[in-house]
Structure 1
């Protein structure tokens, strides 16, 4: 394990773009949330009426999520509150496009990371390759878990060389539960701030805890030895 962390430190020391990208996906959603929380009411001026409106919603949403500018949960709440159920299919499609974008950026900024890690740590390579058939379940449980943010998981999957089709095929079903919960909170709320606050209710905490247990259990099943 020490050798793995040494390799990671060595990689980031010689690949500043890689460490910048990781810091970006960690910090930017937090900063974006603060900015959005102070200016959320501007969405009232942009209703969805025409096909062009929906196209703009789709593209902008995909960019905000794919570039880690806003958390997916916040976008789901805002979409539910301001646009209602009619926007849900476009939100899910936006997630798909954002997954492709985030995964691709993870690949570009961490292009040589996996190869270096495998070269320096043959045992780690063997462990990862022995779990290839379980990659789909890992993607699903990481996505359903509230612990790992969307943007970080995109980089994680790219760094692990998990195929993009698996990220989409297993990741979207995993995201649906979290998405629908946040989206529903927005639809049912009397205000955007009330929607955010509703996520702190006992029932939401119970659901969140259940998803956490399911997600952690699935990740543990992936990590444990055969």
Structure 2
């Protein structure tokens, strides 16, 4: 009974990490549409507070990282990419640390209940740098869920930080560029065909990530 209750809370934690960011992004989008000059006119101290806030917003899964990258591109253009990457990195550490406190023992035990699951888990732990890099590279892997899962399976902190930062660079740059091209949030939503090449680039990142994960998984099957 205790195991089931702990597993329930751990799964609920992951659901929070996946669903809540999409809800909160609506509020940020409304503010950006109604008053973009508010963010443009922030002074240095206010900008520092804003970026510190984004660390907690992303680390606690209060807003999707891709949406935030679009927002940054729309407001500040590529000038915002470096503080955004720094905020991503700190948010990753925060999310990883919180997940470590949860430990995920029930979920790991549940995964290990089959031989295939145990073998896969060992594979991720043995090739943690590659798995983190590919998970971050893929546009479909939620930022916060990746933080939690990698902490649960025992990925080393150094591998998580380095591989995560490298993997996030292409998709972050792509999202920021998309934000710079939007005349307004309404235009971005109502004219997605204007950004067809970004769709192709996102698909390319997804294919590279998927193929890489397939190759890593085949290694664990053959070992």
Alignment partner for residue 205 of structure 2, among 197, 200, 211? 211
Alignment partner for residue 11 of structure 2, among 16, 19, 26? 19
Alignment partner for residue 164 of structure 1, among 154, 157, 166? 157
Shift of 1:143: 0.7
After superposition, what is the alpha-carbon deviation per residue over 1:53-89, rounded to whole angstroms, capped at 9, x for unaligned?
3321221111111111111111111111112222211
Alignment partner for residue 174 of structure 1, among 167, 175, 190? 167
Structure 2: give runs of 5+ residues left out of the alignment.
Answer: none
Shift of 1:15: 4.9
Distance in structure 2 (CA, Å) of the matches to 1:180 and 1:26: 22
Correspondence for 1:4: none
For residue 69 of structure 1, give the secondary structure of its aligned residue in structure 2: coil
Distance in structure 2 (CA, Å) of the matches to 1:216 and 1:154: 18
Q: Check conservation: 2:134, 2:209, Cα contact below 8 A.
A: yes
Aligned-pair RMSD on alpha carbons?
2.6
Correspondence for 1:104: 97
Correspondence for 1:94: 87
For residue 198 of structure 2, give the secondary structure of its aligned residue in structure 1: helix
Following superposition, which runs of at least 4 residues in structure 1 exceed 6 angstroms of deviation?
Answer: none
Q: Check conservation: 2:7, 2:107, Cα contact below 8 A.
A: no
After superposition, what is the alpha-carbon deviation per residue over 1:130-174, rounded to whole angstroms, capped at 9, x for unaligned?
554421111111111112111111111111110121111001111
Structure 1: give runs of 5+ residues left out of the alignment.
Answer: 1-8
Asked if 1:34 is matched to 2:26, the reply is: yes
For residue 46 of structure 1, give the secondary structure of its aligned residue in structure 2: helix
Greater shift in the superposed pair: 31-40 or 167-176: 31-40
Gap change, CA 1:11 and 1:198, over 3 Å in 2: farther
Alignment partner for residue 60 of structure 1, among 46, 53, 56? 53
In the superposition, the TM-score normalised over structure 1's length comes to 0.84
The number of aligned residues is: 218
Greater shift in the superposed pair: 90-99 or 79-88: 79-88
Q: Check conservation: 2:136, 2:164, Cα contact below 8 A.
A: yes
In the superposition, the TM-score normalised over structure 2's length comes to 0.85
Distance in structure 2 (CA, Å) of the matches to 1:95 and 1:177: 13
Gap change, CA 1:218 and 1:189, over 3 Å in 2: same
After superposition, what is the alpha-carbon deviation per residue over 1:6-34, rounded to whole angstroms, capped at 9, x for unaligned?
xxx97443355423311211210121123
